[in-house]
Chains A and B, each alone.
Chain A
Amino acid sequence: MKYLFYPGCSMEKSAIPYLMSLKAIEDKLSMELVELEDWNCCGATEYSAVNRIASHALVGRNLAIAESMSAESHTLVAPCSACYLNLSKTDHYLQEDRIFKARIDDALAAGDMSYTPGSIEVRHALDVIYNEIGLEKIKANVVKPLKGLRVAAYYGCMIVRPDLHGYYDSHEYPMILEELLEALGAEVIDFPMKTHCCSGHMTQISGETAYELIRRLIYGATRYEADLMVTLCPMCQLNIDAYQSEANRYFKTDYVMPILYFTQLIGLAFGIDAKDLGIGQEFVDPRPALAKIDVEVDEAPAATKKRRVKEEGLPMPQMPGKNGGGD
């Protein structure tokens, strides 16, 4: 099955392992991802608050490119939750609001482009893999069940809310990722914080707030004895992984809660080599957790080195954090 594919910027930088693992399982799931030609930024989480029309015109351009390629497929897959939300929001507003549509049309016309609202179906990678490809197909490919691995499914906020097209089973307590992970043989814990905030860009704005939000999640997952968290969003992965040590320092705690992409776990269960799935590039070392399912990771995690850079780059705003770090 062919799908149009919008990687988004994370997949080319901080979330390279997400892209690697998605590409690695593409064939086995009989997906063919056709990347949009000359795609641009989705506007991330802030731009629409700064300039609504410009931000949606930016997304409109991506939708227009997708429409021009719709001979390949009408479904546009975005693996990043923010990209998915922005694309589906713009498409939705274009269908709802005629004045808004006129302004976006103007902007697109300046570049000789146009987009017919509703002509492209925007889907998140999890939704497509669960609802379109289906658990049967996934189960059929599992050669190395993740038996004994306790995982916490973590959705973050953006794919289930507002869920403009009703792809998800619940906004507050979805279960599809759990079902998928169970199909891989993993032991899935009941993780009540599955749709709570990862702190988004608060790490850049108010470390104090961000660390508390991150702490809640890793504290929760630890208390439920998860070996690792599983996510579907580059932002969630970045915050939990890259800022875990900051949060630990701030609160003087010592949580170790690795977080991987669901595509990486699918890949492991399909028997794909960890290295080919981008595993080994995390800050929080997943090797002890993966050892439970006999997965060996050759490369040492790049964590130590990179964390130092982060520490120097981000001054600690609060005394307790500094004291904690100085020990």
Chain B
Amino acid sequence: MAENKERIGVYVCHCGTNIAGVVDVEEVARWAKENLGDQGVVISKDYKFMCSSLGQDMIQADIQKEGLTRVVVAACSPHLHEKTFRVAAERAGLNPYLTELASIREQVSWVHKDKVVATEKSKAVVAGAVSRVVMHEPLEPIIVPIAEPTLVVGGGIAGIQAALEIANAGHPVYLVEREPSIGGHMAQFDKTFPTLDCSACILTPRMSEAGTHPNITLLTYAEVEQVDGFVGNFDVTIRQKARCVDTDACTGCGICEQKCPKKVIDDVFEVGLGYRKAIYTPFDQAVPKYPVIDRENCTYFEKGTCRVCEKFCPTDAINFEQEDEIIEINVGNIILATGYDLFDARRIPQYGYGRLANVFTSLEFERMTNAAGPTSGDILLRDGKTVPKSVGIIHCVGSRDRNYNNYCSAICCMQSLKFAHLVDERTSATVYNFYIDMRTPAKDYDEFYQRVLDEGTLFVRGKVAEVTDAARISGEEGKLIVQVEDTLAGKQRRIPLDMVILSAALEPRHDAYETAHKFGIACSANGWFTEKHPKLDPVATMTEGIFIAGAATGPKDIPASVSQGSAAAARVLSYIERGELALEPVRAMINQEQCSGCRICNDLCPYNAILFHEDQMVSEINQALCQGCGTCVAACPAGAITGTVFSDKQVFAQIDGLLFLEKSALVPEMA
């Protein structure tokens, strides 16, 4: 039908020797011209690098001179250059979706050795593409306007950085944090490696900048409940948990906290090593300065009496009747910087955490060394008095271990070195590091390792078998004994110590999967948020308008988290500056007449793009949310869903084309 009208150009790429080394490209080009004329091929050429400017110019010139209506490029995978050739066609005045890339590199030359077979297979692939491209329809990009405000979820250093970048460029930002203060894990540390900067000193200026920035709306003690819409136009529902403190009246004087009679163990900021009150700010430099009442532990909420904070508050800011508030906002883009959880060291019972008093986790030790922490920065045993004479630091606790997490947590080596240095600086204790491999790859990191070596820290290479208080000989009594195979000395060692620190793994947030689902993005098998491309697009996701940054995408140290925060902000800014975004028109559509309302597609859609009309009992695909993955198209039992660029018609045409050579020499030679 269409074959008489269409004028198709076929362009076969050598890709240097990548393709031409195995495929006789000249023969493929010649064959296409001679044999596919009935399908509409009027011109067929080969060229050394079709993706070069000269190659593209050649295609453009042919479109204009020869009046081509369709273009097939036989080269690499569409992942690499589909866009290149679509844009080239568009420059020559052809609708970009009337092109087709036939992969004869990834699917032919790189997987075959036999030249004859490879050449014949290339012909089939080209014939398939030619049959298919005839069925293509011209498509127009979907233009969506981009709302200016941005939502940043997570107020750790990555989120703060992203928020500041966007705010400083003059655009509004909502920064949502579920704890009462921003600051994240970095606020818990005393020193940062390898420079030993005071963590608070470099973080708090950023925190207060974020807190006072005219373009940043800070929503702490708040969580995102629901996200609807799509890039440029997200409707976000946020639950502002009741602080029971009127922030307009509160001056942050702290009297309520002083006077509150209820002391509770602080499991979050002090990781169980210290106390806070029932009305509290997590730490002195908290941003915002307003405290919150922990309703679960507040005596008033438990017993109905007390109200001491209310009595002492000089500005009448305490409001026990305050309720959670639902805030609705509209944003154009979202950055998720939700960070990590620390591995629960109790999961490795043989290391004794939770059983043996003087086994600490890395975060507990961070708090201990912090001048504002529970011991005012003194390194002490659990009794709160005794200075240890010997300290062991165990690396890779829950990391690089097939029983827990296979991955390397990236920060633990450097963190352990920092701990060793701090112990050396503040006590006269002997320090052991028990490591599997030392990993110190970034700027000035290995130099820091050398420095700690020079300070006399002892390094034992081997995975610790157990930490026990079960003494075997008299010298071991009352100590923690580390049983370890010293793989450099080639022997088992038992080292009695006063204190053991477990450098625990970084794990995805316990609710990472729920968060990912809420925002319509994916998680890796481990639970880290998945990037659009791990190397070339590390802060974007497969969902347009949702970006990710910091440790939520995988274990990361501070410099890497900050870089990602900035990178995500840069991506968002480019969208905001453009004001609108052209989305690929590769979409699925439901023919509502054919839809039976079975809802099978509803849950399968990875982008939450399908909504169901209860009244008409039919499903509909949101064109801005749909990413054209095709899952629903394949799943629809009624065949009611069509995907542009992957319709049944197009796929069957391609199969017909592939089988064009069925009776030729291909089959016997392949066998």
Q: How far is the CA of A216 from the CA of B472 in the complex (A)?
A: 6
A47 to B608, CA, bound (A): 60
Contact of B470 among A170, A172, A193 (CB under 8 A): A193
Bound Cα distance from A220 to B472, whole angstroms: 7
Alpha-carbon gap, A192 to B348, bound state (A): 13
Please tell me if B204 contacts chain A, counting CB pairs below 8 Å: no
Contacts of B350 in A (CB 8 A): 172-173
Per the bound structure, the CA–CA distance linking A192 and B352 in Å amounts to 9
A170 to B347, CA, bound (A): 9
The answer on a CB contact under 8 Å between A192 and B472 is: no
**Chain A residues, CB < 8 A from B470:** 192-193, 216, 220, 223
Instruction: Kindly identify, within residues 336 to 373 of chain B, every residue whose CB is under 8 Å from any CB belonging to chain A.
Output: 348-350, 352, 355
Q: In the complex, are the beta carbons of A192 and B471 less than 8 A apart? A: no
Chain B positions 463 through 479: 1 when the CB is less than 8 Å from some CB of chain A, otherwise 0: 00010111110000100
Q: Which residues of B contact A219 (CB under 8 A)?
A: 471-472
Contacts of A192 in B (CB 8 A): 352, 466, 468-470
Give complex CA distance A193, B352 in Å: 12
- Whose C-beta in chain B lies nearest to the C-beta of A196? B470
In A167-194, the 8 Å CB interface with B consists of 170, 172-173, 190, 192-193
A173, A192, A216, most chain B CB atoms within 10 A? A192
Give bound CA distance, A219 to B473, whole Å.
Answer: 9
CB nearest neighbor in A for B355: A190
Q: In the complex, are the beta carbons of B472 and A172 less than 8 A apart?
A: no
In the complex, what distance in Å separates the CA atom of A105 from the CA atom of B477?
54
Residue numbers in B under 8 Å from A223 (CB-CB): 470-471, 477
Residues from chain B with Cβ under 8 Å of A172 in the complex: 348-350, 466
A71 to B469, CA, bound (A): 49
Residue among A173, A193, A216 with the most chain B CB within 10 A? A173
Task: Give chain B nearest CB distance to A308 CB in angstroms.
Answer: 30
- Find out whether the CB atom of B471 lies under 8 angstroms from the CB atom of A170: no
Q: How far is the CA of A192 from the CA of B354 in the complex (A)?
A: 13
B349 and A170 contact, CB distance less than 8 A? yes
A12 to B400, CA, bound (A): 46
Report the minimum CB–CB distance from A57 to chain B (whole Å): 32
Residues 200-244 of A contacting B (Cβ, < 8 Å): 216, 219-220, 223
Specify the chain A residue showing the minimal Cβ separation from B348. A172
In the complex, A193 Cα to B468 Cα: how many Å? 9
Report how far A193 CA is from B472 CA in the complex, Å.
Answer: 11
* B26, chain A: closest CB distance, angstroms: 50
A267 and B471 alpha carbons, distance in the complex (Å): 33
Q: Tell me how far the C-beta of A217 lies from the nearest C-beta in chain B, rounded to whole angstroms.
A: 9
Shortest Cβ gap from B467 to chain A (Å): 9
Q: Which of A74-92 contact B (CB under 8 A)?
A: none
Residues 355-407 (chain B) with a chain A CB within 8 angstroms: 355
**Chain B proximity of A254: nearest CB distance (Å):** 16
- How many Å lie between the Cα of A223 and that of B468 in the bound state? 13
Q: In the complex, what residue of chain A is closest to B403 when comparing beta carbons?
A: A171
The residue on A at minimum CB distance from B481 is: A192
| A170 surroundings in chain B (CB, below 8 A) | 349
Smallest distance from the beta carbon of B17 to chain A beta carbons, Å?
44
Distance (whole angstroms) from the CB of A324 to the closest CB of chain B: 18
Of B349, B469, B472, B477, the contact of A173 (CB 8 Å cutoff): B349
Question: What CA separation (Å) do A173 and B351 show in the bound complex?
Answer: 10
User: What are 20 contact pairs spanning A and B, CB under 8 A?
Assistant: A170-B349, A172-B348, A172-B349, A172-B350, A172-B466, A173-B349, A173-B350, A190-B355, A192-B352, A192-B466, A192-B470, A193-B468, A193-B470, A216-B470, A216-B472, A219-B471, A220-B470, A220-B471, A223-B470, A223-B477
Chain B residues packing against A (C-beta within 8 Å) = 348-350, 352, 355, 466, 468-472, 477
Interface pairs A-B: 8 shortest CB-CB: A173-B349, A172-B350, A192-B470, A192-B468, A220-B470, A193-B470, A216-B472, A173-B350
